[in-house]
Amino acid sequence: SQTIHQWPATLVQPVGSPLSLECTVEGTSNPNLYWYRQAAGRGLQLLFYSVGIGQISSEVPQNLSASRPQDRQFILSSKKLLLSDSGFYLCAWTSRVGGTDTQYFGPGTRLTVL
């Protein structure tokens, strides 16, 4: 069966520090991968998605970037964090079966920027 891992679970970082969040998927090949951010009490904001190694699409211009160095690895990065980067970061993968995109989420990373 497929599983998705994210780490770390929680992170407290000072403003201006770098960021690296990692997501890995097991049990599937060539998944579509997604990074979302969710502010408290709000909906999901799509940040990046990837349909293959090295292929990254950005949905929201900001100081974040994403990379996909391996088929089942997706990394979210920042060179300098802002206070507004605080939030709940979720990685997801898609199984495109029957022409639909059902998304399966990781456990999330709670990021607090101070």
Residues 6+ apart with CB under 8 A from 81: 13, 14, 15, 16, 17, 18, 19, 63, 113
Single out the segment in contact with other proteins by CB under 8 A; choices: 11-19, 61-69, 74-82, 85-93: 85-93
Q: Of the candidates 82, 103, 112, 114, which one interacts with other proteins according to CB under 8 A?
A: 103
CB of 67 to other proteins, least distance (A): 18
Segment 18 to 47, residues that bind other proteins, using CB under 8 A: 32, 42-44, 46
- Cβ count within 10 A of residue 102: 11
Q: How many residues does the chain have?
A: 114
Q: Which two tokens stand for residue 3?
A: 């599983």
For other proteins, the binding residues (CB under 8 A) are: 32, 42-44, 46, 49, 51, 88, 90, 92, 94, 96, 99-108, 110
